[in-house]
Amino acid sequence: MNAERMDWSQLWYPGPTRVFTADEMARAGHDKPSRTLLTVVMLNYALAGFVLMQLAPPVATAALNLMLSLGGVVGWLGLRRLWQRPDRRSLAFVSLLGASVLMLGLIGTIELKGLARGSPERDWVRGAGMVLAMGLAVAYWFAAVFRAHQVEARLREQAEQQRALDMARQLAAAQIQPHFLFNSLASLQHWVQSKDDRAAPMLNALTAFLRATLPMFNRQRLALGDEAEAVRQYLTVMQMRLGERLRFSIEVEPAAALAQVPPGLLLTLVENAVEHGVMPSLSGAEVQVLARTDAHQLHLTVQDTGPGLALDAMDGTGLANTRERLSQAYGPAAGLTLDNAPAGGCIARLHCPLDPT
């Protein structure tokens, strides 16, 4: 068991040790501190100022007011710097600068008010200034650590989401390729051995399908037109295997072809239509693929003329994975529905925000 190592540098150089890049800060969000945090800071500063004002000698109240105002301005500027760059180099810089400004302001206030050397009022103002400087340093440290932890948490969340998306893409690839490939290769082997004329076209179509699909699962987004070509090759291979039992049409609007989508969405819907719409039907069925856009949405429709959905039908692994990937990529702005078509068969409708190149 590895024990946590002690960072001794924190004793003389405190603060967050990680230095975030500009890209990391941009991904974490250059947002402003929350209202809750600002309210807590201001209330604590006001409370500290109120207590000091109650304890201050009457002759020192004006000097204290000046120091509190100066401390508020310096503190706010330093906190803004730390919110944008929460590392200990920035923390050391703003702490040193803030303390220097407060001390200069303290000296100037003492001289301006003419507080005599050795007088209780002068000593009290000096002590109040040191308390403010120490409080400012603690506030700076808290702000730097809080912001650094917030940025790290957001980056970890994004990394986890990305890992989930990567796993989903790998799962989709694992679902699509082996079952389809094994059956297609078995048909191809039989046709080669029997010297069937369908062997060469099948090999060409299968090669084109692999060329289109193998690289696409390593990408986060893919032009829908590229995936539609992979779907066309997939249906061509399946048509060779099933003969006249499978008929298909693919219609992709030019704007829809440019849309960037998570790879494998359309291919999964078409596979589902072939497996549950075409294969169970002795007379075969037709698969129709339509992709269109409106002002802000991409709409995919995959319809078959097979037996339709069973009353107790539930999502298989492929459809469940598709819904999860849509949720991860677009949240509630995307959706997938399956219904029985009015003229028979099943119709799958997928919509998501339009993301053109």
Cβ neighbours around 243 below 10 Å, total: 9
- The pLDDT confidence band at residue 1, using thresholds 50, 70 and 90, is very low
CA–CA dist 14, 32 (Å, integer)? 24
Instruction: Kindly give the residue spans of alpha helices, DSSP state H, lying in the chain.
Output: 22-28, 35-55, 61-84, 88-113, 120-193, 199-213, 224-242, 254-258, 265-273, 317-330
**When comparing pLDDT for 116 and 199, which is higher?**
199
The CA R_g of the chain, rounded to the nearest whole Å, is 34
Region 71-94 average pLDDT: 86
Q: Which amino acid does the sequence have at 65?
A: N
**When comparing pLDDT for 22 and 247, which is higher?**
247
CATH 3.30.565.10 fits 197-353, yes or no: yes
Cβ neighbours around 165 below 10 Å, total: 16
Looking at the chain, the whole-number percentage of residues with pLDDT higher than 90 is 15
Average pLDDT, the chain: 81
The pair phi, psi for residue 310, each rounded to 5°, is: -75, 160
Contacts by residues 203-206 (CB-CB < 8 Å, ≥ 24 positions apart): 205/233, 205/236, 205/237, 205/240, 206/233, 206/237
pLDDT at 138 over 50: yes
Query: Structure pTM?
Result: 0.55
Q: Which of 1-5, 279-283, 292-296 has the highest mean pLDDT?
A: 292-296
Q: How far is CA 253 from the centre of its chain?
A: 29
